[in-house]
Amino acid sequence: MIPARITKRDPLRAVILILLFGAAFVGAPVANHYWLEILTEIGILLIFVVGIDFLVGYTGLITLGHAGFMGVGAYSLVWIAHIQGIPVSIAMPLAILAGAVVAVIVGMLVTRVSGVFFIMVTLAMSMLFYSWAFKARRPFGGDDGLSVAGTIRLDLSSIGIDLDDQLTFCLFVLVIALLIYLLFEWLVRTPFGQTLGAIRQNENRVRALGCPVGVYKVAAFTVAGAVAALAGALHVQSTEFLHPNVSYWIKSGEGLIIVIVGGMGTLVGPVIGTFLFVLFHKGVESLTTHWQFWMGLTFIVIVIFAPDGIYGRLRTLAGSRKRKRKLHQPLDEEADVRADA
């Protein structure tokens, strides 16, 4: 699959973002408890998959272990805030920092290999953390999980924001998701982001020019790991329950599927994919217990008929319409001239 790169002027991207985020922000105040949970899940998953797209679509680092950093964020927040009793306002930045530190360490190891070896090593690293969390009964409850209700939400009452209110928390998550998206969109346009794109296209040439390719890869891995840790911290605040499944490799696989289906290397594609994945999941799950089959079949059809992702297909259709208008425009002008004559 060829990534559909972001262009400087792409009105279609702006329209899609306005429609999706606009619908979420407008719909949240009138949504019931069930739909607020869905919108919150969309926001958290969006933060997670945009970071995956940054690694896969812009750096060429295909990973199946990204959920491990989500687990680091969730478990770090619970350890610092719930177990040690440190305020969440301090614990949350520390949890994100923990994700970044672990990402640096893991990144220095895994970026020494590439291709399928990189995929398998990242998967192994994630499974190491999952295995530890699965057996860590003290103090995290192991495979039974740990309830952290009432102790894990960020306290913003000093500025008049009550995150214990479900609507407020949902809007808070959506705002963070939008800010993270804008952060990555800015980042890929910087010299750092452009260098990552060059590494993805021709790593050997970039290395021959004297660029420290390994440093750039580790830096990208660190940024994505920190953002995944943020998603993990928000996830445990949303569910108020800690479980090892937050770091299971299937979550990484789901994120990779969302990126591919939405449009790899576009950032806005994963936004489309996230909304589609969550809404389709909840809708089909309410009708049949075999929702995985129908979801998998749907994604196969999308990949076959839109190999560059949903966003890539939409942009191709929009481009073809523009070309048709340009072709017809000279004919229309010629007809007007003849009519005047």
CA distance 130 to 126: 6
Q: Which amino acid is at 40?
A: T
Pick from 241, 248, 228, 245: which is nearest to 73 by CA? 228
- State CA 135 to chain mean position distance: 28
Query: Is residue 43 a contact partner of residue 246, using CB atoms and an 8 Å limit?
Result: no
Q: Is 147 exposed, middle or buried (0-12, 13-18, 19+ CB in 10 A)?
A: middle
pLDDT score of 290:
81
pLDDT score of 25:
96
At 290 the three-state DSSP class reads coil
CA distance 255 to 245: 14
pLDDT score of 102:
96
Who contacts 334 (Cβ-Cβ below 8 Å, separation ≥6)?
A: none
Which regions in the chain score pLDDT beneath 50? 1-4, 6-7, 337
pTM over 0.75: yes
CA angle 239, 245, 248 (to 5 degrees): 135
pLDDT score of 324:
67
- Token readout for 325 is 């208008």
Pick from 144, 157, 172: which is nearest to 238 by CA? 172
CA 131 to each of CA 74, 113, 206, 245, 248: distance values in angstroms, whole numbers, following the listed order: 15, 23, 38, 10, 9
CATH number, domain 4-340? 1.10.3470
At 323 the three-state DSSP class reads helix
CA distance 244 to 133: 5
Q: Which amino acid is at 14?
A: A
pLDDT score of 207:
92
